[in-house]
Protein backbone atom coordinates (compact mmCIF):
# COMPACT_ATOMS: atom_id res chain seq x y z
CA UNK A 1 0.00 0.00 0.00
CA UNK A 2 1.27 3.44 -0.87
CA UNK A 3 0.55 6.17 1.64
CA UNK A 4 0.08 9.42 -0.24
CA UNK A 5 0.09 12.81 1.50
CA UNK A 6 -0.42 16.25 0.01
CA UNK A 7 2.46 17.91 1.85
CA UNK A 8 5.49 16.94 3.88
CA UNK A 9 5.58 14.09 6.38
CA UNK A 10 6.37 16.58 9.11
CA UNK A 11 3.43 18.83 8.13
CA UNK A 12 1.09 15.85 8.12
CA UNK A 13 2.15 14.93 11.63
CA UNK A 14 1.35 18.40 12.96
CA UNK A 15 -1.95 18.66 11.10
CA UNK A 16 -3.03 15.21 12.22
CA UNK A 17 -2.10 15.95 15.82
CA UNK A 18 -4.19 19.15 15.81
CA UNK A 19 -7.17 17.41 14.24
CA UNK A 20 -7.15 14.47 16.64
CA UNK A 21 -6.68 16.74 19.62
CA UNK A 22 -9.75 18.76 18.64
CA UNK A 23 -11.75 15.57 18.20
CA UNK A 24 -10.48 14.14 21.53
CA UNK A 25 -9.30 11.00 19.76
CA UNK A 26 -6.32 8.75 20.39
CA UNK A 27 -3.30 9.95 18.42
CA UNK A 28 -2.19 6.36 17.83
CA UNK A 29 -4.80 5.82 15.14
CA UNK A 30 -3.23 8.55 12.99
CA UNK A 31 0.34 7.29 12.65
CA UNK A 32 0.29 4.04 14.58
CA UNK A 33 3.37 5.11 16.51
CA UNK A 34 4.68 8.44 17.75
CA UNK A 35 8.16 7.08 17.16
CA UNK A 36 7.59 7.20 13.41
CA UNK A 37 7.95 10.96 13.68
CA UNK A 38 10.07 11.55 16.78
CA UNK A 39 13.78 11.43 16.06
CA UNK A 40 13.09 11.86 12.35
CA UNK A 41 16.61 12.97 11.45
CA UNK A 42 18.16 10.03 13.31
CA UNK A 43 16.01 7.61 11.32
CA UNK A 44 17.01 8.97 7.90
CA UNK A 45 19.67 6.82 6.21
CA UNK A 46 19.93 8.69 2.88
CA UNK A 47 18.73 12.08 1.62
CA UNK A 48 19.38 14.14 -1.52
CA UNK A 49 18.39 17.64 -2.61
CA UNK A 50 17.79 16.89 -6.31
CA UNK A 51 19.22 19.52 -8.60
CA UNK A 52 20.51 21.53 -5.65
CA UNK A 53 23.20 21.99 -3.05
CA UNK A 54 23.48 20.32 0.35
CA UNK A 55 20.86 21.46 2.85
CA UNK A 56 19.95 20.74 6.47
CA UNK A 57 16.22 21.07 7.04
CA UNK A 58 14.43 22.32 10.15
CA UNK A 59 14.30 18.79 11.55
CA UNK A 60 18.02 18.19 11.14
CA UNK A 61 17.84 15.98 8.06
CA UNK A 62 21.07 16.36 6.06
CA UNK A 63 20.22 16.43 2.36
CA UNK A 64 23.32 15.83 0.25
CA UNK A 65 24.19 17.74 -2.89
CA UNK A 66 22.75 15.97 -5.91
CA UNK A 67 25.14 13.10 -6.83
CA UNK A 68 23.80 13.09 -10.41
CA UNK A 69 25.13 16.59 -11.08
CA UNK A 70 27.12 16.52 -14.31
CA UNK A 71 26.30 12.84 -14.86
CA UNK A 72 22.64 12.42 -15.74
CA UNK A 73 19.68 14.68 -16.45
CA UNK A 74 19.44 18.41 -15.92
CA UNK A 75 19.25 20.49 -12.76
CA UNK A 76 16.81 23.39 -12.57
CA UNK A 77 16.43 26.22 -10.08
CA UNK A 78 13.49 27.79 -11.91
CA UNK A 79 11.44 27.51 -8.74
CA UNK A 80 13.65 29.76 -6.60
CA UNK A 81 11.76 32.79 -7.87
CA UNK A 82 8.52 31.42 -6.41
CA UNK A 83 7.28 31.02 -2.84
CA UNK A 84 6.29 27.40 -2.23
CA UNK A 85 2.97 26.99 -0.45
CA UNK A 86 2.67 24.52 2.45
CA UNK A 87 6.42 24.53 3.07
CA UNK A 88 8.42 26.20 5.83
CA UNK A 89 10.44 29.22 4.64
CA UNK A 90 13.70 27.55 5.70
CA UNK A 91 13.04 24.46 3.59
CA UNK A 92 11.44 25.89 0.46
CA UNK A 93 14.70 25.26 -1.39
CA UNK A 94 13.92 21.53 -1.21
CA UNK A 95 10.92 22.17 -3.48
CA UNK A 96 12.42 24.99 -5.57
CA UNK A 97 15.23 23.01 -7.17
CA UNK A 98 14.77 19.82 -9.13
CA UNK A 99 16.37 17.28 -11.44
CA UNK A 100 14.61 16.16 -14.61
CA UNK A 101 15.58 14.10 -17.62
CA UNK A 102 14.26 13.51 -21.10
CA UNK A 103 14.24 9.78 -20.37
CA UNK A 104 13.80 7.56 -17.32
CA UNK A 105 16.38 8.26 -14.61
CA UNK A 106 16.91 7.45 -10.97
CA UNK A 107 18.98 7.18 -7.80
CA UNK A 108 20.57 4.17 -6.11
CA UNK A 109 20.25 3.94 -2.34
CA UNK A 110 22.43 1.42 -0.48
CA UNK A 111 20.57 -0.38 2.30
CA UNK A 112 22.56 -2.80 4.45
CA UNK A 113 20.07 -3.64 7.20
CA UNK A 114 16.79 -5.53 7.06
CA UNK A 115 13.68 -3.85 8.40
CA UNK A 116 10.86 -1.44 7.62
CA UNK A 117 11.54 1.75 5.68
CA UNK A 118 9.75 4.75 4.21
CA UNK A 119 10.65 6.51 0.96
CA UNK A 120 9.65 10.19 0.87
CA UNK A 121 9.76 12.09 -2.44
CA UNK A 122 9.25 15.86 -2.55
CA UNK A 123 7.66 17.71 -5.47
CA UNK A 124 6.34 21.09 -6.54
CA UNK A 125 5.08 22.10 -9.98
CA UNK A 126 6.83 25.41 -10.67
CA UNK A 127 6.54 25.55 -14.46
CA UNK A 128 3.24 24.24 -15.84
CA UNK A 129 -0.04 25.99 -14.98
CA UNK A 130 -2.48 23.21 -15.82
CA UNK A 131 -2.81 19.45 -15.50
CA UNK A 132 -1.84 16.84 -18.11
CA UNK A 133 1.36 18.71 -18.90
CA UNK A 134 3.77 16.59 -16.84
CA UNK A 135 2.73 13.04 -15.95
CA UNK A 136 5.06 10.19 -14.99
CA UNK A 137 5.42 7.05 -12.89
CA UNK A 138 7.82 6.17 -10.10
CA UNK A 139 9.37 2.71 -9.80
CA UNK A 140 11.08 1.08 -6.84
CA UNK A 141 13.38 -1.74 -7.99
CA UNK A 142 11.09 -2.26 -10.95
CA UNK A 143 7.82 -2.05 -8.99
CA UNK A 144 5.52 0.82 -10.01
CA UNK A 145 4.76 2.54 -6.69
CA UNK A 146 3.34 5.83 -8.02
CA UNK A 147 1.23 5.73 -11.18
CA UNK A 148 0.50 8.72 -13.43
CA UNK A 149 1.77 11.39 -11.05
CA UNK A 150 0.45 14.78 -12.17
CA UNK A 151 1.70 17.24 -9.57
CA UNK A 152 -0.41 20.17 -10.75
CA UNK A 153 -3.53 18.01 -10.78
CA UNK A 154 -2.84 16.94 -7.19
CA UNK A 155 -2.06 20.30 -5.56
CA UNK A 156 -1.83 23.10 -8.14
CA UNK A 157 1.06 25.43 -8.89
CA UNK A 158 4.07 26.10 -6.61
CA UNK A 159 2.69 23.97 -3.77
CA UNK A 160 4.60 21.36 -1.80
CA UNK A 161 3.55 17.76 -2.42
CA UNK A 162 5.11 14.60 -0.96
CA UNK A 163 4.69 11.03 -2.14
CA UNK A 164 5.33 8.53 0.67
CA UNK A 165 6.00 4.85 -0.01
CA UNK A 166 6.48 2.35 2.85
CA UNK A 167 8.46 -0.81 2.06
CA UNK A 168 10.30 -3.56 3.90
CA UNK A 169 13.39 -5.69 3.41
CA UNK A 170 13.60 -9.14 4.97
CA UNK A 171 15.54 -12.31 4.16
CA UNK A 172 16.86 -10.87 0.93
CA UNK A 173 13.43 -9.82 -0.29
CA UNK A 174 11.96 -6.38 -0.99
CA UNK A 175 8.24 -6.07 -0.24
CA UNK A 176 6.28 -3.05 -1.46
CA UNK A 177 2.57 -2.60 -2.16
CA UNK A 178 1.92 -6.32 -1.99
CA UNK A 179 4.69 -7.22 -4.44
CA UNK A 180 7.93 -9.05 -3.63
CA UNK A 181 11.29 -9.24 -5.40
CA UNK A 182 14.89 -10.22 -4.68
CA UNK A 183 16.91 -7.51 -2.94
CA UNK A 184 20.67 -7.25 -3.47
CA UNK A 185 21.47 -4.35 -1.13
CA UNK A 186 20.60 -1.53 -3.53
CA UNK A 187 17.30 0.33 -3.72
CA UNK A 188 16.77 1.91 -7.15
CA UNK A 189 14.26 4.77 -7.28
CA UNK A 190 13.33 5.53 -10.90
CA UNK A 191 11.31 8.37 -12.37
CA UNK A 192 9.77 6.97 -15.52
CA UNK A 193 9.34 8.88 -18.76
CA UNK A 194 5.68 9.09 -19.81
CA UNK A 195 3.67 10.67 -22.61
CA UNK A 196 3.59 14.14 -21.03
CA UNK A 197 6.90 15.99 -20.68
CA UNK A 198 9.79 14.76 -18.54
CA UNK A 199 9.94 12.99 -15.16
CA UNK A 200 11.45 14.89 -12.24
CA UNK A 201 12.00 15.02 -8.49
CA UNK A 202 12.82 17.90 -6.15
CA UNK A 203 14.23 16.00 -3.16
CA UNK A 204 13.96 12.55 -1.62
CA UNK A 205 14.98 10.59 1.43
CA UNK A 206 14.77 7.11 2.91
CA UNK A 207 14.14 6.59 6.62
CA UNK A 208 13.72 3.65 8.96
CA UNK A 209 10.26 3.04 10.39
CA UNK A 210 6.68 2.22 9.53
CA UNK A 211 3.59 4.18 8.63
CA UNK A 212 0.73 2.21 10.12
CA UNK A 213 -1.95 4.83 9.67
CA UNK A 214 -2.77 7.34 6.96
CA UNK A 215 -3.46 10.99 7.76
CA UNK A 216 -6.89 12.22 6.65
CA UNK A 217 -6.88 15.97 6.04
Nearest to 63 by CA among 74, 72, 51: 51
Judged by DSSP in three states, 154 sits in helix
**Tell me: the pLDDT tens digits for 120-139?**
999 999 999 899 999 999 99
**Tell me: the pLDDT tens digits for 170-216?**
999 999 999 999 999 999 999 999 999 999 999 999 999 998 643 32
Report the C-alpha dihedral over residues 188, 77, 61, 104, rounded to 10 degrees. -10
Question: How buried is residue 96: exposed, middle or buried, by Cβ count under 10 Å (0-12/13-18/19+)?
Answer: buried
Whole-number pLDDT of residue 39: 81
* Structural domains in the chain plus CATH codes: 3-208 (2.60.120.430)
Whether the CB-CB separation of 3 and 165 falls below 8 Å is answered with yes
Q: Provide the whole-model pTM.
A: 0.83
The upper half-sphere exposure of residue 210, i.e. CA atoms within 13 Å in the direction of its Cβ, equals 13
**Average pLDDT score over residue span 49-75:** 97
26 vs 53, more confident = 53
Per-residue confidence band for 11, with pLDDT thresholds at 50, 70 and 90 = low
**Tell me: the pLDDT tens digits for 71-104?**
999 999 999 999 999 999 999 999 999 999 999 9
Amino acid sequence: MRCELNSSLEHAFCESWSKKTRERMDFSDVWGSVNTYLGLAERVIWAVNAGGEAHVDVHGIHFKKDPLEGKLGKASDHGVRLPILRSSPEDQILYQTERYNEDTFGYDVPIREEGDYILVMKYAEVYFAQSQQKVFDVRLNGHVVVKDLDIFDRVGHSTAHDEIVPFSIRRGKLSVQGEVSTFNGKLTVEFVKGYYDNPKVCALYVMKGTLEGESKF
